[in-house]
Structure 1
Amino acid sequence: MEYAKNILETIGNTPLIKINKITEELPCLVLAKYETFNPGNSVKDRMALKMIEDAEADGRLKPGGTIIEGTSGNTGMGLALAAIVKGYKCIFVLADKQSKEKCDILKAVGAQVIVCPTAVVPKDPRSYYSVSKRLAEETPNSWYVNQYDNPSNAKAHYESTGPEIWKQTDGKITHFVVGVGTGGT
């Protein structure tokens, strides 16, 4: 029988899909990596799992710990999915510009959500950056993910997305276009 032992085993190995209509005038094949096939509907599932696995491996994240992160939602969802399987608690700090639906879905998967004002500079103690850092300092047995400066963020794509694309194109990829964001895209 073929089946995934848990939801985390369904992350990655997403298909490449030919773009037809918007590229019909181009003299080349254009493909999209369909990352919404990941369980959290985002490319961020890859890096969320990688950051957790690396933090577990080097002892920054301990059994029963709390994962703390400032997120706009997609990284939070990836972290929450892994936390459910691995037995961690989550506290996510979001800016108030995020939709109610993003907050609600994170709460629905067991995360505590704290909303901070958008209209403050990152160093302001009320910003979602500052609040998440402070919570990590104050919360026993917690790990602050810090996706912006976490090397495992980009490493996830070096180890999974890149090799997948290379294999799927038989090494014939000539151009790659992506929005970089935190490095986890």
Structure 2
Amino acid sequence: MPFATDVTAIWGGRGSGKTTLARQLVAKAKIKRAVIIDPMAEDGYTTPGQVVNAIEAGEARVIMRNPAKKAQIDTIFAAFLASRKDRPVFIVCDEAPAYLDKNSDALSKIIFQGRHRAFGMLIIGQRPNAVSAQIRSQAAVTYWLRLSDHLDVSVAAQAIGPKARTLSTLAPGEFIRHPEKD
């Protein structure tokens, strides 16, 4: 399934249904090995090495809870290197604007070449405007949930045009998918 090896993005304000949608997408894709970067998590690992060791030991869902930006970026790199066609790794980047605000050559390589290593990525956040445009542009599919900040709506408008004006009126769980179909 392409989702498992693509970059997908979910953007929406607090309470818009981002987490619920992310869980549904991951469950539908039957992801076997997932790393979840969640700086707000209470439980989980705190170093990239611990994360990779847990994935290699067979844990299906591994949480990285370290709030340090460097640890989060290093975890993305480590998960990418651990991913192989016969044992793919999927990474969920929750609260992505906190650590994907700037692009780097190494991060670009991961995003551009991830599918060749069977590496997929789900980027989730409240502020698409705060994530590097180069990173945002790599999403094969983007789900736009309720957004009200004018800068974030402007980012959405670049992708979905006039439909972006309706984002502030969406109910929790409602979204505009771009592109509309695979």
Larger-Rg structure: 1
Q: TM-score if structure 2 supplies the norm length?
A: 0.33
Q: TM-score if structure 1 supplies the norm length?
A: 0.33
